[in-house]
Structure 1
Amino acid sequence: MDLAAGVGLRVRELREARGMSLSELARRSKIGKGTISELESGRRNPTLETLYALTAALKVPLSTALRDLAPPARISGRVVEAVLVERFEADASVTETYRVRLRSGAAQESAAHSPGTTEHLIVLTGTARVGRLTDPVLVGPGAHATWPADVPHLYEAPAGDVEALLVVRHPQRGEETGLR
C-alpha cells in the first residue's frame, strides 16, 4: 500500500472510531472537506501540515497516522521533511522519533500539541532556530534543545539545510493513543 492510500485509510479509521463526520473533522482541523475526502480515498498525498492538522483535530500523535507503513513513511511540508523512525508506547506516554530536514531559509510556526507534550531536537548538520515562539534558541551541530510543545513553537533553518533528530513525547490520555 502506498503512502497516500495507507495514510488515507488510517485517517478514515481514526475519524470513524471517534464517530466524527467528515464535516466535523473539516471544521475542527480547518482543512477542506473535499481535501479530506480525497485524502481518505487515497487520491491525494498528504502534506505534513495537513496531516498534522488532521491528527491534532483527532487528538492523536502524528505517528498514529504514519505507523505500520512500509517503507517508513516520509512526509514533506513546506519547511520540514520528516521520516518516522520509531514510535514507542508506554503506559504514561507515546514517544515519536523522526529524522527531519529543515529547508534552508524557511521557517514554520507550529500550533500547540496536546497539554504536556515536549519536543527535543538534536542537530546533526546545520544550525536551527527552534523552540517556543516567544524565545527560540539557535542550535548547531552536535547540540540539542528541548521545549514545551503544548504552546506554539518554531522550526527554522536560517542559513543552509538542517539535518536533525526530533523526539516528541506525548502524555498518554485514553483516546489520544489512537488505534492499536
Structure 2
Amino acid sequence: MLFDFNLGSRLREFRKKANLSTTKLSEITGISSGYISELENGKKSDPSFEIIYRLLRGINVSVDSFMNDTPVVPLSPESKELVDIFNSLSSSKRKALLSVAHVFKNM
C-alpha cells in the first residue's frame, strides 16, 4: 500500500473540512461520487496518482498538507487560477513568468 495512513478516512476528513459533499466533489473533479465513497469507506484502495491529484485539487488541499498533517491553507480563486495557468505552460514560459513575478515582488 502506498500510504501509511487510512487514505479514505483522511480524504473524508479533508472533504468535510472543505464543506463538500461527495456529489459536489464529483462535479468538481469528474470522479464519480460512488468511487469517492468507495475510497472513503475503504472499499477501494491504491488509487492512481492522477485520481489523488484531482481529488486534492478539488478539495483545495496541497499534497504536503494531506500527507503530513501540515496546516491546510486554502488557495484563493486567483491563486488557484494562477497555479493552473503556470502548470499549463512549457518550462521556458514558466521560467519567464517566474522572472516577471520576481520583478513585481520587488517593486
Category of TM-score, reference length = shorter chain: 0.5 to 0.7
User: Which residues of structure 1 form unaligned runs of 5+?
Assistant: 69-86, 94-112, 118-130, 138-144, 149-180
Q: Which has the higher helix share?
A: 2
Residue equivalent to 1:16: 16
For residues 83-119 of structure 1, the C-alpha deviation after alignment (integer angstroms, 9 at most, x for no partner) is xxxx7x7x9x9xxxxxxxxxxxxxxxxxxx82454xx
User: Which residues of structure 2 form unaligned runs of 5+?
Assistant: 98-107
Q: Output the CA distance in 2 between the equivalents of 1:132 and 1:19.
A: 26
| Paired positions, count | 88
Q: Output the CA distance in 1 between the equivalents of 2:8 and 2:64.
A: 13
Pair 1:133–1:34, CA change in 2 (3 A): same
For residues 110-133 of structure 1, the C-alpha deviation after alignment (integer angstroms, 9 at most, x for no partner) is xxx82454xxxxxxxxxxxxx854
Secondary structure in 1 matching 2:80: coil
Q: Which has the higher strand share?
A: 1
Q: Does 1:114 align with 2:80?
A: yes
Identity of aligned residues (%): 25
Residue equivalent to 1:6: 6
Residue equivalent to 1:101: none
Secondary structure in 2 matching 1:38: helix
Q: Output the CA distance in 2 between the equivalents of 1:65 and 1:57.
A: 13
Structure 2 residue identity aligned to 1:13:
E
Task: Give the TM-score normalised by structure 2.
Answer: 0.60
Secondary structure in 2 matching 1:24: helix
Pair 1:41–1:146, CA change in 2 (3 A): farther
Q: What are the residue-to-residue correspondences of 1:123-142 with 2, within 5 Å?
A: 133-136=88-91
